[in-house]
Structures are given as structure tokens and as C-alpha cells.
Chain A
Amino acid sequence: MDAITSNNLTTSTLAGADPVEFYGTQVASRLLLGTAQYPSPAILAEAIRASGSDIVTVSLRRESGAAKAGQSFWQLIRDLGVKVLPNTAGCKTVKEAVTTAEMARDLFDTPWVKLEVIGEDDTLQPDVFGLVEAARILSRDGFQVFPYTTEDLVVAEKLISAGCEVLMPWGAPIGSGRGLNNPYGLRSMRAHFPGIPLVVDAGVGLPSHAAMAMELGYDAVLLNTAVAKAGDPVRMARAFARAIEAGREGLLADPMETRDMAAPSTPVMGRAAFGQ
């Protein structure tokens, strides 16, 4: 399991510090937060602060990008001093995704892009064929692509050969809050790509889901709806930050093995014997 490899790497760095690295940029927080659907920009800002996130995704509608008409909202986000990961949310074709990514690069002055190419309206499942194609075009053009993908290993290989240095498999369909639908698939992905930063993106509903992703050895978790649509988004942001830290700490602490039979934690010798 790769968890071990990456553990050795991280634990051998500064004691206490456990940064994660995307395309050569190190950040402290392993929680990436989306910025859509909050009750207000003020609550969004407070939630981002409470989450401790260093990276937030911003989805760009093409109309806004073309007219540069969303400036005041984007400025609110820039003012928070976090790194922006622009998102091609809702794009359904390669061309649309590439155009949106180019606009985002101009607007936010970053080569980073979260690449979404949606293939199916009901599940918002990625169109992995379009995704690989768009990733290739964008990587060649100097973008640093964070692809939203499935746990399919062959697709993952193709994304890496297209130039991706990060992979972001889904936990469950976007906005479903179902958690990690396929822990086995996510575990084998981790094992197959020990050296690639892996981020569970989408489908996370509860802090425990995020903790589980970290325990599986994932490098980070990206979520939006679970915080934005909570009754108290700020509190939920804090809860996720703690869960992710707990899951990561648990992984680094080298958990015990599971076993089929009970193993008493206190010795039985010397226990009072009845019925003699």
C-alpha cells in the first residue's frame, strides 16, 4: 500500500508539518472547498476561514467569463488570500471545457484548472473520453489539470499520460452526499498510483466520509455542497477540517490490523472465577 510510502515521505519532513503538494505547490490544508451555493458571500468567506482551506474552487459560467461580469464576487474570494482553482463545472463538451479553462486562466491568472466534462445529466458522471481529450489539449497548452474522474484505473492511466499530475476520483455523484460509494475501487486506485496526489472529489456528505477518504490514504478531499447546504455552513466547514485532520493523523499513526476474533484489551488472568 502506498500509504506507507507517502507516510514515510511526509513524516520524514518537518515534525508536525504535513503539507500536500500539487504541481510543485505545497499547501498545509488537505481540505479543498467549493464556493457555490452558499447563502451569501459573507457566509462563504466565514466558512472558508473556518475550514482553514488554502485552495478553493470557483466555477465559471462562460457568460460571466466572456463579459468579465462577475468581478465583485471573484474579488471577494481573492480578498480571502486563498489559492483559486478555477473549475469548468457543468461543461459537457471538450470544446466548452477548453474554452472555459482558457477564460479562467485569463481571469484568475493561474495555470491550475479543475477539469470537469460532464457526460450524464442525472448522475453528473464524468465523460471520461472527453475528459482525457480535454486534459491532453490543456496540458499541452501549459495548464496544470486537476481532472474530476471516476475510480477507473485505465482512465487514470490515460489521464496521467495526457499530462495530469493529480487525479480526483469521485466519492459519489456530485451533490449526492452519499460518501464513498466504492471504497474498494478507491483503495485500489491509491495502491496503483502511490506517487500521484489523489483527491476525493464529489459525493462527500458527512465529516466521517472525509475522514474515511483520508484513512484510505487519499491526499486531500474536495467538497462543496456538504458545507454550503448545511444548516450552519461555518460550523460544518470546521467539522470537515477536523475530520480530515483526524483521518490523516489516523493514517499516519499506522492503524492496527483488523482481525476476526476478539482480542481482549485487558488480561483475563486473575479474573475472579465464579461457580467453583
Chain B
Amino acid sequence: MSTPNPNIAKTSMRGLTNFISDLRNAPSKENEEKRVTKEMAHIRKEFKENKNIDGYARRKYVCKLIYMYMLGYELDFGHMEAVTLLSSTKFSEKQIGYISIAILLHEQHEMLPLIINSFKEDLLARNDYFQSLALAAICNIGGKEVAEFLSPLIQKLLIANTSSPMVKKRAALAILRMNRKNIGFVTPDQWVERLVSVLDDSDFGVLNSLMSLLIELASENPIGWESAIPKVIQLLKKIAINKEFPKEYTYYHIACPWLQVKLLKFLRYFPPPEDSQGGQVLNEILNAIFSQSESAKAGTVNHKNSLNAVLFEAINLIIHLDSDPTLLKQTSSLLGRFITVKETNIRYLGLATMSHFANLSNETSIMIKKYQDTVLLSLKDADISIRRRALDLLYGMCDKNTCKHIVAELLSYLQTADYAIREELVIKIANLAEKFASNYSWYVDVILQLITTAGDFVSDDIWFRVVKIVTNHEDIQAYAASTVFTALQSRNCHETLIKVGGYILGEFGHLIADSPQSSPLIQFNILHSKYGTCSPSTKALLLSTYAKFVNLFPELTQPTQEVFKQHSNYIDAEIQQRACEYLNLTSLNEDLMQTVLDVIPAFSEKDNSNNNNINSSNGNSQDPRVSSGSGYHTPPPQQQYQQPVQQQQSNNNLQDLLDPFGLGLGGSPQPAQQQVAQYQQPQQQIVMQPQQIQQQQSPQEVQSPFGSGTHNFSPSSPNGPSSPINSGGAIDPLQLKILISFKRLCLASEGVLYEDNMLQVGLKSEYQGSQGRLMLYYGNSSAFPLTNFNVTFNSVSGVQLQPQSIAPVIQPKAQIQQPVTFSCTSEFTETPTVVINFLTPGKPITIHLKLPIIMSKFFDPLKLNSGDFFAKWKTISGKPLEIQEVFKPTKPVDINQFTKVLSDGLNITVLKGVDPNPNNIVAACLYPFGSNGQPIQCYIRIESNPQANMCRVTIRTQSAVLTNTLKSLLIAHLQ
């Protein structure tokens, strides 16, 4: 493998070879760039000025362009020449033309409509090679228009007897691709018979492509495609049992492994065959495949690979059928063998498949118990892919009896585990420990160990959970207190341990205070020795702990008040505020102090919803009441901890207070720093508390139509324990303005996102396909420079934001820009947020804003006629895929206005003439990025009653998440 083949070199284009040699010989990247720039200029000139340029030169230049493109050079010309080549009558020119458009164009490219006709001509040409080229191009870049225009033709090519196998197999895939772009265009009633008839084709290449198509269709919706099952089973029998297949499709002694895999896979989309005969044949086939497994022990790598490909697919089918006990048993032992073999690929797949198998039923999970030690061993494999699978499997294998052993193993593995897997590991251990805890002291031990070994990876959710469990279980409180106390002795404590320790000692330190080794003063000293190195939020939490100490141990009054005094002018507003409050609280009135600082009552069990937080591996909160952006997790500790203070103030309302806010754990956090300027008089806080309670009782009123996220904006948010008193619970005008701006930008692509007398934030957005781009403009409207200017972006699951960095200072009357790109990968329910921090002379400012990146920005239009609409409408019904809701618009119903909001603002296609009632709207849209990678169609109906000024929306989609989001969106913007 050293010299290029001289024979081929002779036939290629010399200019191209020379150019590539030049680039290869370029001594540096700069030289390469220079050479590329020169060549581009040359080609551009040739294309522009040389009217007599011949096909050969054009081919050569286009090849050069492809080469440069591969190396990462942007091309802004040459597309036209590619199109010219493609419409040539010479095959060699056509071929390179097609190759280059497939590389350079995409389905939304403006040039595409120009070549649809060339596609058509080539499809009609009686030349297999021309037809193949056109079909490949359609498959590579064809969009919706292409699908609409050419699908009848392609369908004919697939079915016609005159088409060669080479054309047929491409036609099948082109149909698949068009169906993806135009979901639902291949319907069973029109297609099933024809497609099933193609299953009789004798060419295995054609069958292979056809099976790809059928699998795709069945994965969308298996109903209607059942008639293919008997033929698929028949084919499998022919290959696996009768061994009838073309010899050239033998791959390393295995009969057409790819086709077998596809046939088996297709069957996974359907329930087991109902007729006993079909079931029996299928069993025979699976047995026949299994019987070959012995030969997988020997042979070349490639032989083993392809044999195992078929085996694994057969196992997947057996797991799906879950019927034959003998086969299941064989599967179990086969998998047991797979996870011990030398080939890592097979071990990997064995572990992955065993996970599915373990989750199948009780019986199957018992069957694989005996492999536990092997799996534990795989956890220490050198290959991270294997370790991940092993972890997953262990997690699934764990039960009451084995959990202690498995958790202990995982904990010991955690000590050496690499960073790539630690976070996942921590979540899984915490989950298992809670799920299978027979006594909670073990649970507390596990979590403390987690914090000690991998504190950085222990999310707030996890430690909130410990605190809550300890609070709710009296029997372990003393144990927890003494355990954390011991843990705190260590010189290097993780900050999370200090938080847990602070909280637990504050609440339950008195339970161990009788022992001279852990007297109140020692407890205080040990906590305070860590104080200096803590982050502000932990400091704030410790201050609360000290206040609690004062209440229980009068002897600590003096040292703690010292601390409070030191902090009464502290730079961090939250800490300063607490210090002042506690200083006053602990010196003013003993009765009040006792009430306020009493032991926290047990958490409401309803708060168990937080359990999900731990369970959801991404750690994002699932409680709809909890803030929407995961980025808001920063301040919760103090809030959470402060809870007792508040609850005592309103002991009677305790339950009411707990629930509406989902207080307790991970409760609605709040931007603490916004209170900076407002907080001046600590005493007022306490005196006026009853009023605050009033505010708290009407949380729903301040909830906006956007539900969950809104209270994030509100500095007067009633949940804030130390929130300054605001007039009567109304929303701050500034916050209202932010809300209105946000709402407007949900419908528009540009505008002002935020404005006050110092800062203006403007926004422009553009969306293309799954990609979006925001340009944020920060304008300083004040007379002084804004320094330490820093913007933090909080992505959400499904939308990853990539901001560019910006300068940290904005001069007076100046503006800076920040581009942010993002791509959408699945449905998302939460709204990405930004936190803007900067310093003005004298004080830090923090602004929390939601970004108007909502699902509707990614909607594609979906035009349907009346028949199609109702056909699809009827296929979905019932919650959660269907949601119906009545709402009362604040303004009189205006159907034209509604139409405008839908079509201009939310990118939803209003379908005219579908609903005869002029007061109703029927609309549809396409969300291109469902979580399974498939586009989701959404159907909407809005009925209005102008007399009563009431509306009802009904939404049906194939995704519960989408349905729900769409409902909230519509109501928010139509109300």
C-alpha cells in the first residue's frame, strides 16, 4: 500500500492531480490556503470569462472544488457549473455533476428547483445509469417539492417489470427518503399491495432496499402493513432453513446477513404471528439461526461479525416476542457467553442486549442473575463503551437482595472512574440507594460517600433529597447528625458536604450535643472553620445554621452574633441581608426567635415529585412548578434552607404553603441579587411578615400563561424568603415589561428583549431547518461604563446554545453584539434563559431573561386538504396525545387576528375551507425534530363563540410533549 495505481492515474485528469500534489506538498497551512485562494480565483475566472470552456475542463474544475470543500474551504460558486454538468448528455459529465450537487446542495437550496426537471428527464431516460444517478440525487438532497413532483414516476420505476434491479433498489430507497420528507405520503391502502408484490423479486439487492423501506413504514405506524409478514417469514425460511439464495450474496460463508437482519427487524414491529403455523415457522427459523451460533466461535473476524449480526437481531426478535421459554433460556445462556468473549464488539452488544433482556420480565431478570460477577468485572474494562453498557446493565439488574453489593461495587468503582462516566454513575448510585434502601441510615451513608468521593458530580437535587429524607424520618436524625459531624472532621470537605452538614447540624445537631465530643461549641467551630472557603450560597446557608444554633444553645449567642455583625456590611447582598436579619432576630425578641427558628416540620409527601429529579438522568427538574431552566439551580440552597424560617411564620398555613410552591426541595429559586438595591432595613422584613404571607397565598395569580418559568423573572416573587416587601403582591412593572417583550418576540423575529435606564437588550433571530441563530445587542444607555459584563446562557434539553464570547465592558452609549447559534435536536418544553451580570459603579446587577426560543420557531408549514386533514385528525384521540381546553380571550374574539397570530407568529399553517364554520380555525404544522428523529405532524382546531367570547382549542399530535406545549403556546398567544 504505497504507490498509487499507475493504471488509474493515467486515466485521471492531470490538472487535478497536479493541484492535489501542490496542496499535499504545501509546507504549512498558510501555503495551502494561498494555493487554494489562487486556484479558486483561477476557476472563478474560467467559469466567468471562458465562454468556450469544454466539458473536460468543467469536470476538472468541479473535482478541484470538491477537493477543496472536503478540506474545509467554503465554496460560494461552482454550483451552476455542477448543474450544467448534470444536464450534459455525456455520462462522465453527468456523473460528476450529480456527485457534486449531492455534496454542495441541500434540500432547501435555491438551486434545487432548477434541477427538478433534469431529474425528471433522467428518470424518463431509458438508461439504467442515468436513472440511477437521478434517484441517488433525489435520495441525497430531495425535499418536499421533489417528492410531490416526482413520486408517481419513482413509484412506477419500482414496480415496473422493465426496471433493472439497479434502478429498482434505488427507487425503493428514494421513496423512503421522500416519505421521510413528506410523512404519510406512502399510505398502506395505496401502497401495500404493490410493495408486497415486489417482495417476490428474485434480486436480493432489491429485496434489501425494499425491506429498508418497509421497516421505515412499519416503524412509523405498523397498522396496514401486516400483509407483508407472511412473505417476510417465507423469505427468512428460504434463507435460514432451506438455504436457497444466490451464491454471490454469501458474505464470509453467511447467507446474505444484511437481508436476514432486515427481515428479522421488520417482524419486531408487529405482535407475534397469530396463526399457529406462522408462529411455528418463525420458531423453526429462530432455532435454525441459533443452531449456527456454535460456528461463531471459530472463523475469521468477518465471519463471526456477520454471523453475530444475524444472531443479535434474532435475539432482539425473541425478546420482542417473549413467548417461547426454551428460546428465552437459550438466549440467556447465549448472552452469558457473549459477555465473556474476547471480541469487545460482541461483549458490548451482549451487555446492551442483556439490559433489554433483564428488563423484559421477572423471569428473565432472574435468569441473568448468575452473570452479575461478570458484569461487575466489565465495569473495570479498559474500554469506556463497555463500561457504560455494564453500568447500565447493573443498574437494571439491581434488586432488593443485590443492591447493597452492587452499590458497594459501584461506589468503589467511582473512586477510579473517569470523568466521562462519573456524573451518570453518581445519579445511578443515588437512585439505587434510595429505591432499594431497607434502612435509611444506609442510604445516608451512601450519599455521604458519594459526596466525599465525587462531590463535584453530586447535583443539588441529590443532597436536597437526603435532607428531606432525614427530616421526614425521625429515627435516623441522630445518626445522620453524628455521621455528618464525623465526616466534617476531615480536613478537605467537599462544599456539598458542608451544605448537608450545615443543614443537618442546624436542624438536628442538638441530638448529639450532649456528647462532649460534639458539644454545640465544637459543632459551631467545625462548621465555621470551613466557612471562609465556601461560596456565597453556602455561606448564606451556614448563617442560617448559626441562627438555628442560637435558638437551641444560648451559649452560642455571643460567637454567632459576632459572625452576624462581621457580615452586616458584607458585599454579597444575600449574606448581608441574612446577617442583619439574624442579628436582629436573635437579639430582639426571644419568643419570635423561637417560633421562627423552630425545627423544620416534615416535608409533605407530595414533594416526592422531586424524586423524579433524581431519577431523570439529566437532572433537570420535572416538576412543572419548579423553574424551567436548569441554570436556575444555583441559588436554591439558601432558599431551601430558609424554608423553615418562613414556614414557622405561618404555621397554620404550612400545608398550603408547602404545596402551591413545591417548596421543600429544589423549590423555585429566585435571583437573589436583584434585591440588592431594594433591601435596606432588615427590621422591616420581620415586622411585615404577615403581609408577605398574604402574598404567598395567591401564587397562582402571578403565574403567567407560560406557567412554570415565569416566576423566575419576578424579584417580588413571593417564594423568596427574604424577598423585600412589594406593594400588594402585584408584578413589578419592569417584570411585566419583560414578560410582554418576551411574548412579543415569541411571535416576531426581532425586537427589544429588555430595557431599563441602564441597559437595552435587542434581539434578532433567524431559523433554518434545525439551526437557529440569535444576534443579541447589548446597549449601554447609562452615562457610565458597564463593567464585568458577563452573559451566561442556559441551554435546555433539546436545544444547545453556543454563544460567542463578548467583551466584558460596554462603554456609555455604546453597543456590543453577541451571536448565538443553536440547533434543535428534539422536542423541548423548557425555554432557554440568559443571566446577564454586570457592575455599575457601586453595585452588581443581575438580570434574568428568557430567550424567545420556542418550539414554534422550528415549525414547518403543513398544507393539507380537507380529506387528508380529517383522515389524520381521526387517527389520534384521547389524552395525552389529544388535549382540549377552553379559554376566555381577554379581548373580543377576532378570527382574523387569530389567523394572523397562527400563521405569521407561530408558523402554523391555517387550512382554509376545511371547517365550514367561519368562527372556527383548522390548522396544521410540522415539527421536524421529534425525539425519535421523526418529524411530527400537529393538527389544531380552534372553535370560537363570539357571543360568549369563549374559545376552545383542540390539539392532536403524535407526541404528548408537543401537544401540551402547543396548547400552552396557543392559549398564551390567543388569550
A binds B: no
